[in-house]
Amino acid sequence: MRVLTFLCLFVLSLSSCNQETSKETAPNNPPPNIIWLVAEDQSPDWFPMYGDSTMSLPNLEALATDGVVFDNAVAPVPVCAPARSALITGMYPTTLGTHNMRTYAPGRREGDRPYHGLDIPSYSPIVPDGVKMFPEYLRKKGYYTANGPKEDYNFEKTDAAWDESSPDRHWRKRKNGQPFFTVFNFAVCHESQIWNRGADSLFVKPAKVPIPPYFPDTETVRHDIAVNYSNLKRLDDQIGEIVTDLKEDGLYENSIIFFYGDHGGPFPRHKRALYDTGVQVPLIIKFPKNESAGERDDRLISFIDYAPTVLSLAGIEPPKDMQGVAQFGEFETKKNVEYTFHSSDRFDEIYDRLRAVRSKRYKYIKSYNTDISHALPVAYREQMPMMQELRKLHEAGNLNVSQDLWLSAIKPEEELYDIQKDPYELHNLAGNKDVKDTLVRYRKILKDWIKDTKDLGEYPEKELIDKWLADGKQPRLPPLEMEDTNDSIHLISKKSDATIVWKQPQDSVWNVYSKPLPNDHLIEAKTVRIGFTDSEILDVTNH
């Protein structure tokens, strides 16, 4: 069932709520604290709250008991960096230019060898006008924002987004009583941990794990799946530590906690695939006072909705530029989301292009490169024992039809699946005359979305880079201008949608400029924007 829109009432009438006894001094009617707990590379299939009984995950099960479990939460892209660009902006990666995996590689300098063996540089796409990293809006309202340890947004972050972004981030570093938004990213369940932890202790016997019909039942497959379950146990333990911290600080009851996966699972046909194994994610939201605890919600909710939803929960109206909608809070949308949209482009060193539209009933997938396999030979994935075995079994002709589909040397131009009747998406209905009208309708929906959102996937990546980079370098923002009055300094950016940040020279954290600054002490200031090199630092008191 759809959760009642209580959050709007919560934001508007927070003062009438009985406040949780806290160890911290906090003002009356405080904005809610918001925490993201992010599991890398996980599908809903392996979690108890989604019906799997293989492995007990007590901390996540308790969170689900206190919160709402979502059955149709999805990522727009089935791989991390493009998906995170959607999370942090509320925009489709195909609109941003962050649709390829990966564009920005921290630490690479001009002259370094081509990234992933391709003749392309590390670069930050120049995103459309008005697009910002959404924590910037929270900081302007007084929030403490902290993230870590992973960034990986497919562009270089700006200094306006975070008070801290590091492995040591924590809300406990904020000022007393300050509202906070904190992101905890957990890599223990990442794809790489299937082979990196392959020899570690297992918390479930391989003989006990379920095998989906698209995988062969072999010792190697069972072992890799058992490793993932064991990694989920490690994930659950780490999440338990964060929840314990919240409870010790007296913050748990009135905080809003999101738990979600950053895209589908770590296995072949999961990560990098537009099937639900690749785009559907677990999502739990625990609301203040455990409102609607234990309920399930089948609304369609995509990563582009997370940014506007968090802003809405904090009482901030989401910018009109965002393509996502607020699903809860003061500015909750009044329209039901009918479709979600998904993309697949370059993965590391290999180019492909697919697009998909999904509803609660059907999914339509369009392939623009039918002469290559769904099972792209991505070098990173080829390290996984399961992937190596699937290759061998495919070459030997030892897989059944369902197991062999994904590994076929070619793929169909169109795929249509009834995901209610065929949740594993094994029976392509695109050629079925009985659903021709459905095929035509979804084909048009996807085509219109590609046009309306200005999907950049049709353009070669080098062409986009040449458009964005001047002489192979990110363009630089123009210098700040200032007006000095009797008692304050007004800062002005020549780039209208750039953000002004400032700090005192001895500080390490940049503040978001929102009002004139005092002119009685030394201040440094600059402008920042996604896709641009920061402007030169202006020494405010020396002008």
Do residues 104 and 321 make contact, with C-beta atoms less than 8 angstroms apart? no
Bin 223: left if φ > 0, else alpha if -120 < ψ < 50, else beta: alpha
Nearest to 538 by CA among 455, 479, 496, 483: 479
Phi/psi at 344 (5° precision): -150, 120
d(CA 316, CA 313): 7
Structural element, H or E, at residue 367: strand 362-367
Radius of gyration of the chain (CA): 24
Q: Could you tell me if 70 and 285 are in contact, meaning their C-beta atoms sit under 8 angstroms apart?
A: yes
pLDDT at 15: 35
Contacts of 372 (CB under 8 A, 6+ apart): 352, 409, 410, 411
CA–CA separation, 227 and 432 (whole Å): 39
pLDDT at 246 over 60: yes
Q: How far is CA 10 from the centre of its chain?
A: 26
Instruction: Give the residue among 511, 494, 490 at the shortest CA–CA distance from 502.
Output: 511
| Stretch 267-283: mean pLDDT | 98
Query: By three-state DSSP, how is residue 414 classified?
Result: strand
pLDDT (average), residues 463-488: 92
Q: How confident is the model at residue 116 (pLDDT cuts 50, 70, 90)?
A: low
pLDDT tier at 109, thresholds 50, 70, 90 = low
For residue 409, the model assigns a pLDDT of 97
Residue 335 DSSP label: S
pLDDT band at 402 (very low <50, low <70, confident <90, very high): very high
Q: How does pLDDT run across 66-82, given as a tens digit for each residue?
A: 999 999 999 999 999 99
Give me the mean pLDDT over the 423-442 stretch. Answer: 98
Known catalytic membership, residue 8: no
> Is it the case that residue 46 has pLDDT exceeding 60?
yes
Mean pLDDT of the chain: 93
Residue 16: is its pLDDT beyond 50?
Answer: no
Model confidence at 320, in pLDDT bands (50, 70, 90)? very high
Q: What is the mean pLDDT of residues 220-243?
A: 98
- Determine the angle formed by the axes of helices 306-313 and 80-89, rounding to 10 degrees: 30
Residues above pLDDT 90, as percent of the chain = 88
Structural domains of the chain ordered from first start: 6-13+33-189+255-337 (3.40.720.10), 343-468 (3.30.1120), 481-542 (2.60.40.10)
**pLDDT over 90 (residue 6):** no
**How far apart are alpha carbons 422 and 42 in whole angstroms?**
20
CA distance 122 to 110: 8
Whether the pLDDT of residue 538 is over 50: the answer is: yes
Q: Which pLDDT score is estimated for 437?
A: 98
Query: Mean pLDDT lowest for which of 1-5, 11-15, 218-222?
Result: 11-15
Across 136-143, average pLDDT: 98
Q: Is pLDDT above 90 for 239? A: yes
Using the predicted structure, report yes or no on whether residue 438 has a pLDDT greater than 80.
Answer: yes
Three-state secondary structure readout of 146-210: EEECCCCCCCCCCCCCCCEECCCCCHHHCCCCCCEEEEEEECCCCCHHHHHCCCCCCCCCHHHCC
End-to-end CA distance of the chain: 60
Q: Report the pLDDT value the prediction gives residue 253, as an integer from 0 to 100.
A: 96
What are 312's two structure tokens? 């809405």
**Each residue of 161-208: pLDDT tens digit?**
999 999 999 999 999 999 999 999 999 999 999 999 999 999 999 999
Displacement of CA 481 from its chain's centroid (Å): 36
pTM to 2 decimals? 0.93
Structure tokens at 362: 């059907």
In the chain, % of residues over pLDDT 70: 93
Q: Are 133 and 310 spatial neighbours (Cβ–Cβ below 8 Å)?
A: no
Residue among 8, 17, 80, 189 flagged as catalytic? 80
Give 21's pLDDT tier (boundaries 50, 70, 90).
Answer: very low
DSSP per residue, 75-106: -SSSSHHHHHHHHHHSS-HHHHT--SB-S--T
pLDDT digits (tens, 9 = 90+) for 346-381: 999 999 999 999 999 999 999 999 999 999 999 999
Q: Judge whether residue 143 has pLDDT over 90.
A: yes
In angstroms, the CA 494 to CA 492 distance is: 7
Work out the pLDDT band at 292, boundaries 50, 70, 90. Answer: very high
CA distance 322 to 16: 32
- pLDDT value for 117: 73
